[in-house]
Amino acid sequence: MHRLLNPTLDVVFKVLFADPGNRDILISLLEAVLRPPAPITDVTVQDPELPNELVDDRGARLDLLVCLQDGRRVNVEMQSYAAPGIPQRALFYWAGMYRSQLRRGDEFTKLAPCVSILILAHRELPGTRYHCTFRLLEVHDQGLFSPALELHTLELSKLPRRRPRRGKPTVLNWGRFLAAKSDEELEELAMTDPVMRKAKDALEFLSARPDVQDLARRREEALLTYNHALGLAREEGERIGERRGEKRGRTEGLRLGEAKGLREAVRVACELLGLDLDAQRQAEIDNLEPADLERLLAALRRDRRWPRE
């Protein structure tokens, strides 16, 4: 039996829930998080495709954009690692989703509510509540300003350890499914409800597909390499900033540290791929800015060879 892929990896999450054959588990997940007053009867995945080149780009968005039968748009993001500015980024993407509905000459009344769902494998917010719902409310009497904005967070690291209730899947069931660390945990969930069984079977099917295995491997490599480079960048930037002892020095230090970390990541990637770093290539790496280094790193992971070779 193939090792099950990790559904908290964004590429696996998207392939799993964007599959037309898995609409029932997608609807179940959405109903568990959104708790709509009426059942969701139909969903349309707006961006089911997964461009091959995006898998190697750590900055690429692999979110799931869904339209409900009532016109609402829902963006589902699976975030498997901590990153700076997640709340700001969530609002930025929500604003883009909301604004993109209008065309020149359209009335503002045509704008449908938009919902963002952030599923996070790490702790992001204070408190112990694992599922939070945010809306535009008046601070005194909690009156709703507009139903246009709704944002949900599901923090998997805050899930309680108690067993999920039997019956219709809840947000806790889905959280435990995504956070499961073993086949035994998934099988226990599958025994509680047919939808959980369907989700486990769908994950097993994907995990046996060589093409999805390759996508997951490449995505993990991209994220690991980037996080390694980012860690080196922060350490180097802090050292430089401390030596300069001023805000400008810290800012410059972070920039220089980022470049140094990315150069080290490129060297590590070349070593893993068996590529020779001759003097010419080394000089090219040393002269590149951070943005160019990121593009080179993405190209190495995607093409498995030196660019223009």
3 in a domain, yes or no?
no
Q: Do both 18 and 99 map to the same domain? A: yes
Question: Does residue 246 carry a pLDDT above 50?
Answer: no
pLDDT tens digits, one per residue of 205-229: 999 998 888 888 887 776 666 555 5
Range of the domain at 217: 212-303
| 231 belongs to a structural domain | yes
Query: For residue 249, what pLDDT band results from cuts at 50, 70 and 90?
Result: very low
Q: Assess if residue 5 is contained within a domain.
A: no
160 and 81 share one domain = yes
Query: Is 183 in the same domain as 237?
Result: no
Examine the domain organization and report whether 186 and 246 are in the same domain.
no
Residues 80-95 have a mean pLDDT of 85
| 203 and 216 housed in the same domain | no
Residue 242, pLDDT score: 54
Tell whether 140 and 96 lie within a shared domain: yes
- Tell me what pLDDT residue 56 has: 55
| 81 & 228 share domain | no
Rounded average pLDDT over 92-105: 90
End position of a domain, from candidates 176, 208, 240: 208
Q: Quick one: 235 and 187 in the same domain?
A: no
Residue 234 confidence (pLDDT): 52
Q: Are residues 30 and 106 in the same domain?
A: yes
More confident residue, 47 or 179: 179
Residue 108 lies inside a defined structural domain of this protein: yes
- The reply to whether 219 and 204 lie within a common domain is no
> Of 144, 177, 208, which residue constitutes the final position of a domain?
208
pLDDT at 108: 92
Q: Which of 180, 208, 236 is the last residue of a domain?
A: 208
Confidence (pLDDT) at 292: 83
Domain count, the chain: 2
Is 309 contained in some domain? no
Is residue 118 situated within a structural domain? yes
* Choice among 117-126, 141-150, 277-286 with the minimum mean pLDDT: 277-286
pLDDT at 162 over 90: no
pLDDT given at position 58: 54
Rounded to 5 degrees, φ, ψ at 96 are: -65, -40
pLDDT more than 70, % of the chain: 78
Are 138 and 269 in a shared domain?
A: no
Kindly report the average pLDDT of the chain as a whole number. Answer: 81
pLDDT confidence of residue 76: 95
**Confidence class of residue 266 from pLDDT cuts 50, 70 and 90?**
confident
Evaluate if residue 113 carries a pLDDT over 90.
Answer: yes
Give yes or no: residues 194 and 298 share one domain.
Answer: no
Least confident range of 13-22, 140-149, 196-205, 266-275? 266-275
